[in-house]
A and B are shown apart, each in its own frame.
Chain A
């Protein structure tokens, strides 16, 4: 768990999607989320499935990671599938169970909605599996850059976000350590009456707050000592570069969108 959190869900590999600019990946995911609502018949869903599979192929991510991402929503998908199956009453009856009748339209809707779910999760998973959270933050900072003109503190927000991401693993480790220390003193976190468990939270939170403020102070002093004075004229260690692949991928999605518009019923 701890190791996993350090890099979010990022799976290192050398693939086309890994090398893409985080900005173009963010734009692609955003557009895909909009475009997916265009699909409304078998042809359009088939196009989207093929597109998603092609992208998954480009990513060179082992299938088990992608399937792992689908697991948390599996119940929600099954629930909505059956909701559609039993509540839609259009088209011909294809199965008569006495109490329920399953209609053609219900089955169709159920399958489409489940597919839409899976595709959305797969595409967003592809983003987080091929991009580190820090890269995503960098990408967002650059994409929101124009808002600086209206005094929107883009740089400050991105800085806070990267610090938050950077310290998740450290703080998790610390939480774990404090929990173990308190457990050794006889505190129960996972069992016992709820009142006792609530009381047990307090000696966990206090050291966590105090130590993180100490750390924040040290980090702030270190930053100022190295001449940090906000985003103005700051250069970056990690440079983002927009390549031909990025433009190509955007054009590819546009072509897919055009196909969707043509084939949608």
Chain B
């Protein structure tokens, strides 16, 4: 991790704050069950990554989840849900960042976000199957779900939800990016010149 300037440290803190506030403003989306909520907390992380580099994006995702854990706690003791959210966040932010830095156009950003959505949804489905769901059942001491049952739940529930959530975030981010791209590149230039 390269050394951050004081400005970068403070800005990452602020963006984490925004990310946490946006996480609180979450909402369910009609066709999906109520506990699958959409929020836009990944957008500040993406902006952090674009301006201060990939490590900043990871940090924003990290702080957002640590703060939420402090404020609400976790039923399983070990914060499985928060770790899952953190992993999903970086799986979305990092691919989007690396593809965008290769292409550097507005169209490239769209492509990057779509690919990031696909990467995030697929990897999260695999992780859900092998790690997250088993961890939940372990800590809740529930009888483990049968493999085919779990598979249908992931393929029909979690995978489409993650794709939908990713696309929704991408859409809002593109709306934002089309207006803020000059501002973002100016901030980038400023943070490099310090």
Contacts and interface: CB of A to CB of B under 8 A. Distances in A.
Contact of A168 (B7, B67, B140): B67
A120 B75 contact: yes
The 9 closest A-B pairs by CB, nearest first: A163-B13, A164-B16, A220-B7, A124-B73, A216-B11, A167-B17, A160-B13, A33-B77, A212-B14
13 contacts: A36-B77, A116-B141, A120-B73, A120-B74, A163-B14, A165-B17, A171-B14, A171-B18, A198-B171, A198-B172, A209-B18, A220-B7, A220-B10
Contacts of B140: 80, 113
A212 B21 CA distance: 13
A264 B141 CA distance: 17
A58 interface: no
Contact of B17 (A9, A36, A73, A212): A212
Contacts of B175: 198-199, 202
A208 B9 CA distance: 18
A24 interface: no
Interface of A: 8-9, 33, 36, 69, 72-73, 76-77, 80, 83-84, 87-88, 109, 112-113, 116-117, 120-121, 124-125, 128, 133, 136, 153, 156-157, 159-168, 170-172, 175, 194, 198-199, 201-202, 205-206, 208-210, 212-213, 215-217, 219-220, 223-224, 228
Chain B interface size, as a band, is 35 or more
Given A136-B70, A160-B10, A220-B6, 12 more contacts: A8-B71, A77-B75, A153-B1, A163-B13, A164-B16, A164-B17, A167-B17, A198-B171, A205-B172, A212-B15, A213-B11, A220-B10
Pick from A112, A125, A216 the residue with the most CB of B within 10 Å: A216
A56 to B, nearest CB: 15
Contacts of A223: 6, 10
Interface string B65-91: 011001111111110000000000000
Contacts of B73: 69, 120-121, 124-125, 128
A133 B10 contact: no
B172 A201 contact: yes
A163 B10 contact: yes
Contacts, number: 144
A113 B141 contact: yes
A7 to B, nearest CB: 11
B59 A160 contact: yes
Contacts of A160: 9-10, 12-13, 16, 59, 63
A164 B14 contact: yes
A168 B20 contact: yes
B171 A209 contact: no
Nearest to B174: A202
Given A80-B140, A83-B142, A84-B142, A73 B14 contact: no
Interface stretch (B93-101, B114-122, B179-187): B179-187
A184 B119 CA distance: 40
Contact of A156 (B4, B21, B72): B4
Interface in B106-161: 140-143
Contacts of B92: none
